[in-house]
Amino acid sequence: MNIEELSEKLYDDLNGRITAVDYSDDLVIDFQCDDWNEYDVTRYFKITCHGVTESEVRPSASGEIEFTDSHQLLWNHNEPHGYLYYSSEPESRYEILGRVWEAHEKLFGGWRPLTDFANTYNAGKFIEFCKGCNGQLAQGPKPLMELYQSAVGNHIKTKFVPSYIPEGGCKALVFDTCFVICKSVAVAEIRS
């Protein structure tokens, strides 16, 4: 069985769960779920992730598994990166922050924090953002910077400046609440 077949067979009512994660050589995930053909039978799998570049995986319930090369979690690893600058003073920098935050949350839904990308810094007890008539608004993958540009486009002038292109070739193994970014995945069913 491969990861695509497991992904296709798995659904919420099968009580899927990650039972253990081993971070030795390759990342190995112990996964189990109810059998999709027989009642009262549990199936056990070892999911081995090769070429891991990022992981946020832990024991947890998961009714779905997706292995994809087109997910916003991959943008850090597969898309060109750069800086998003602004060159006009906003009427309300809090409105700009709100627009950027809303666009960010609609896209990531908690997968990645805004502070990974927005140019905020702690000046004493307050966060500084978009202060003055020019500066850096954010940095990160180009599709995300374009989303931010679109969110604030009618309120300030922005310009994307490219910086680098990551190696790429990564895929995302996405569970309900966690993920692994890697090059490939192998699945072995363990017979009990």
Span 97-128, pLDDT tens digits: 999 999 999 999 999 999 899 987 765 666 67
Contact 139, 75 (CB under 8 A): no
Handedness of CA 130, 136, 142, 146 (dihedral sign): positive
Average pLDDT over all residues of the chain: 93
Query: pTM score, two decimals?
Result: 0.89
Q: What is the pLDDT of residue 133?
A: 86
**Contacting residues for 129 by C-beta, under 8 A, at least 6 apart:** 93, 96, 97, 118, 119, 120
Among 140, 175, 164, residue whose Cα is nearest residue 17: 175
Ranges in the chain annotated CATH 3.30.70 = 80-164
**Contacting residues for 134 by C-beta, under 8 A, at least 6 apart:** 85, 86, 87, 88
Does the pLDDT at position 43 exceed 80? yes
Of the listed ranges 118-122, 139-143, 151-155, the one predicted with least confidence: 118-122
Angle at 191 between CA 188 and CA 192, to 5 degrees: 140
Spelled out in words, what is the top-level CATH class assigned to the domain 80-164?
alpha beta
How many angstroms separate the CA atoms of 110 and 172, rounded? 16
How many angstroms separate the CA atoms of 153 and 150, rounded? 5
Q: What is the pLDDT of residue 172?
A: 98
